[in-house]
Every structure is written in C-alpha cells, then in structure tokens.
Amino acid sequence: MAKEPSPRALVVELCKQFYAQGWVSGTGGGISIRKDNVVYLAPSGVQKERIAEEDLYELDIDENVLCKPANPSLTPSACQPLFFNAFRLRDAGAVIHIHAVDAMLVTLLYREQFECTQLEMMKGIAGHGYYDKLVVPIIDNTAQERDLADSMAHAIESHPTSHAVLVRRHGVYIWGKDWVQAKTHAECYHYLFEAAVRMHQLGMRAEVGERESPARLGFARG
C-alpha cells in the first residue's frame, strides 16, 4: 500500500485538482489540512494551481504560527478564522473553501438555507440518507473574509448535521473528519448544488421529493 503524501504535498496536489475543476480560480479558495494538531494553511493571494509546499504556513490549534513560508512577502490566508471555526467547533481534519459558480448561484435561489431531498448523492454526505432532508445554512457575505467568522460559527452551531456553510454571492466552506471525507463531501455537495440550479431552470425544486404531488407543488408540466 502506497504511503500517504505529507499534508503539505496534499494541499498542493488538491489545490491543483480544485483549480482544474474551476473551484479555486483567481487566487480564491483553497484547502487547509489538520494533522496531529498542526494546521497546514496556504498563504493569501496566491495562484492556487502554482502553490509550492514551501509556501505553506503551519499553525497550532490556537492559531499560533509554528512555521512560516520561505518567502517573507507571503501572509496567511484570509480564510484562516473560517477554517479554524470548523477545526474547533467540528473537530474537522480538513476544510475546503470553494468559489464554484453553482455554489454561489444556490445562495440566490434560497434564503436562509439550501435544502434538498431524495437525490442519490446526498448519501455521500456523512449522516444523510436518500429520504432525509439535507440542509446547508446560508450566511450573508461581507467585504472582508475574516468578518464572516462570527456568523459562520453561529451557523455551524445552529446546524449540527451540516458539513458545510454557504456564503451568499460568494461560495462555500466544506469540511470532513480528514481530507478524504472533506473532498468527498465537496464533490457531493457540488453535485447537489448544480442539480438544484438545473432543477430550478426546469421548474422543479430540489427540496421536494418524488412522494409529493407535482401539481400541488407547482412543477413545470411537459
């Protein structure tokens, strides 16, 4: 069995993958990984597909810097307090922040929370089954990323079954117990966000299941 890459190598590899998927373009977004109570964090304002292992910060769980990048001009990610919300409040092992278009669009279709049910990919989100209702809270955006920290923390605490928080007109924060679960959650959530956007275009609603009457709920007719 192949040895798992180091957290530094994983951050670099996953940022390249997410860039290819259109999730972290324009220096936005990224992933932070926690291992043995050390958090590996990308710097702010860098091209995520070109990030190098030596560009990363290492911090402890109290956000004290243990190791700085080789380049002294780099500063910690503006997402740092948001990542640490999930590390502290959910004991997350990895947190992903993504600016995917569908993650942004669903925040314009739903007011306080995104909801869906009876979509197969829900089963990829820990604690959810096909007939459950999956809920993701939506918080309003701010001019500065760090100013989202308090509202994100409140959303996490008030939605204990969610593994994500959407930010209106912005994107989404998604976490898991380790990088594997966080990546799985991100892929499943984004499938669900895209499905909801497409269903809306077709006159359907992702929060409505097949057991409910299409006519009563105003589904589009062929």
- Burial of 32 per CB tally in 10 Å (0-12, 13-18, 19+): buried
> May I ask the CATH architecture of the domain 7-201?
3-Layer(aba) Sandwich (3.40)
pLDDT digits (tens, 9 = 90+) for 11-67: 999 999 999 999 999 999 999 999 999 999 999 989 999 999 999 999 999 999 999
Model pLDDT, residue 210: 78
- Burial of 36 per CB tally in 10 Å (0-12, 13-18, 19+): exposed
Find, among 117, 125, 110, the residue nearest to 169 by Cα.
110
Model pLDDT, residue 4: 83
Q: Catalytic residue at 120?
A: yes
- In the set 4, 54, 120, 157, the catalytic residue is 120
pLDDT digits (tens, 9 = 90+) for 140-198: 999 999 999 999 999 999 999 999 999 999 999 999 999 999 999 999 999 999 999 99
212 band by pLDDT with thresholds 50, 70 and 90: low
Read off the pTM.
0.92
State residue 34 phi and psi, 5-degree precision: -115, 125
Helical segments of the chain, H only: 7-20, 80-90, 101-109, 149-158, 179-201
